[in-house]
Structure 1
Amino acid sequence: MGDGKGRFRGTENGLSWESRLPQWLRRRPKDIDPGAADSSREDLLLAVASAGMPLAPAAHPVSYRCSCDRIGCPTPGRHPVSFAWQTQSTTDRSQILRWAQGQPQANFITATGMVHDVLDVPLDAGRAALDRLLEQGIEVGPVAESTGEGEAGRTLFFTATRGTPEDEDEWWPCELDCRPETMDEHPGLRWHCRGSYVLVPPARLPGDHEVYWVRGPELPLPDPLTLLETLTDACARYAGEVEANEALDEERHQTAWPMGRR
């Protein structure tokens, strides 16, 4: 099981990822043993499916570009391959293995709002919030990190869904959680529910970045409301620190380049 610190360690049906996955993630593609890499990747994808989270294939990075045909793709390696990803998403092990083996470079997304939601926050805010939640003894479910600079670095908290998938009319549309008027109250927080998706580990991103488990998908999914206050507090502190740093940078810039007198 995930230990709350470090990358995912776990087993399913006797399979172990502890020794193989971290080595695979740290090695450059040309140095990877294809057999070991494929096995680790497939094991983790099947673990996600076994937890009830539906999967669908996603694009992957080609250097700093995207494997899709879109020129200037704004989210290289971060989006589904098919426009029908919501209906295509599945937990069927045979189908997932066919996708994984037929598309060995592909990342995978999980469609949210069916079984689970994801609370998505800036990386530093998420790490601080996770430490605080664990110190308080609050049950935290699966957690993944997406590395990258600035807003590209994110922490993903997987939770039970607050929607009611059995009654489609009652599902929450994800767009409601991302409207600009909500951002002042919860700066930096994205709530992925119906109509949204996130990448699942192991995923490769441009610039040698990646998505990996901090706490594994075998953990029970908590109610998102048990995490929300701590996450929003951490996001508010993070936003304040970013604003203060930007003001300091601006002050230093003005000092270094003073305006000439007229």
Structure 2
Amino acid sequence: MAGRNRLSDWLRRGADSGSSDSPAERPTRPVRPARTPRAARGSRSGPAGPDPRRDELTRAAAVAGFRLVPAAHPENYGCSCERIGCPIPGLHPVSLAWQTQASTDPQRVEDWLRTHPLANFVTATGIGHDVLDVPADAGRLALERLTADAATLGPVAAHGEERLLFFTATRGTPADEDEWWPCALDSHPETADEHPGIRWHCRGSYVLLPPARLPSGHSVQWLDGHGPDLPLPDPLPVLAILTDACAQFGYEFEPAPVAWGR
């Protein structure tokens, strides 16, 4: 599809405009650090019940303009869905039609909260917002620089102890349709471990919203001072800062060749 890998073009434009921070100026294949096997991560003490703030935080996300939809939740060390041996328990939407169902409508949100009392919620990206998803160590390193510049200050959530989610304005719906690509920096959730560096969640993707419960026993939480009420920054300056931080930890910056959707 034309435009699928337009990110590199955008980054080069930033470099041509004189930005010394552009990730296009650095090698794109630094050494990838060793990763902890999935089974060894977290302290799987069993799934806890929903956070008592679930309804409040879900409503706040919808008010902030994040289109959301119910998701599965961890259950008995597995998933609440009917898929036997679900490889991403509690990490995926309930419905295969999540892209068309995602909504900010208050009445629909209330209906979901009532009829899915244990559910996590995800927000569909690439319409009202995107999400830059990075390893927590690199994300923490980038936070000081991001918070020092009001233009790059936006909502940030911790996905357990392993990842940070930086919410930005979207690049998924430009006037020129040749300038969009479906979630080309993300990966299918079942193969996310193969892409440990930056994942750009845009059209055709989603992320869990706070206070979603994770299989590890951890949860998704807004960082203090970085809640959904903050304005969404342009993704490209945020991307440049996050790429700098990822490079210091040796994470690759490598667009995935194939997008996905459910």
Q: TM-score, normalised by structure 2?
A: 0.69
Consecutive unaligned residues of structure 2, counting only runs of 5 or more, are: 1-46, 188-194, 252-262
Q: For residue 117 of structure 1, report the CA deviation from its aligned partner.
A: 0.3
Partner SS state of residue 98, structure 1: helix
Match of 2:238 in 1: 227
Higher percent of residues as strand: 1
RCO comparison, higher one (Cα < 8 Å, 6+): 2
After the TM superposition, which residues 191-230 of structure 1 pair with which residues of structure 2 at under 5 Å, given as runs?
Answer: 191-214=200-223, 215-230=226-241
Distance 2:174 2:151 in 1: 26
Q: For residue 225 of structure 1, report the CA deviation from its aligned partner.
A: 0.9
Match of 1:63 in 2: 76
Distance 1:64 1:187 in 2: 24
1:236-262 Cα deviation digits (max 9, x unpaired): 11226xxxxxxxxxxxxxxxxxxxxxx
1:157 aligns with 2:166: yes
Match of 1:17 in 2: none
Q: For residue 158 of structure 1, report the CA deviation from its aligned partner.
A: 0.2
Between 72-81 and 137-146, the greater mean CA deviation after superposition: 137-146
Match of 1:236 in 2: 247
Match of 1:113 in 2: 126
Please tell me the residue identity of whatever aligns with 2:111. Answer: R
* Residues 55/221 of structure 1: CA separation in 2 closer, same or farther (3 Å cut): same
Consecutive unaligned residues of structure 1, counting only runs of 5 or more, are: 1-27, 180-185, 241-262
After the TM superposition, which residues 63-142 of structure 1 pair with which residues of structure 2 at under 5 Å, given as runs?
Answer: 63-136=76-149, 138-142=151-155
Distance 2:165 2:228 in 1: 12
Match of 2:185 in 1: 177
User: Does structure 2 conserve the Cα–Cα contact (< 8 Å) formed by 1:187 and 1:236?
Assistant: no
Aligned length: 196
* Residues 165/101 of structure 1: CA separation in 2 closer, same or farther (3 Å cut): farther
Q: For residue 54 of structure 1, report the CA deviation from its aligned partner.
A: 0.4
* Residues 82/162 of structure 1: CA separation in 2 closer, same or farther (3 Å cut): same
Please tell me the residue identity of whatever aligns with 1:53. Answer: F
Distance 2:111 2:176 in 1: 31
Give the greater-gyration-radius structure (CA). 1
Please tell me the residue identity of whatever aligns with 1:177. Answer: L
Partner SS state of residue 69, structure 2: strand
User: Does structure 2 conserve the Cα–Cα contact (< 8 Å) formed by 1:113 and 1:165?
Assistant: no
Match of 1:259 in 2: none
Distance 2:171 2:105 in 1: 24
Partner SS state of residue 47, structure 1: helix
Between 86-95 and 136-145, the greater mean CA deviation after superposition: 136-145
Q: For residue 147 of structure 1, report the CA deviation from its aligned partner.
A: 1.1
Q: TM-score, normalised by structure 1?
A: 0.69
User: Does structure 2 conserve the Cα–Cα contact (< 8 Å) formed by 1:63 and 1:206?
Assistant: no
Q: For residue 208 of structure 1, report the CA deviation from its aligned partner.
A: 1.4
User: Does structure 2 conserve the Cα–Cα contact (< 8 Å) formed by 1:116 and 1:159?
Assistant: yes
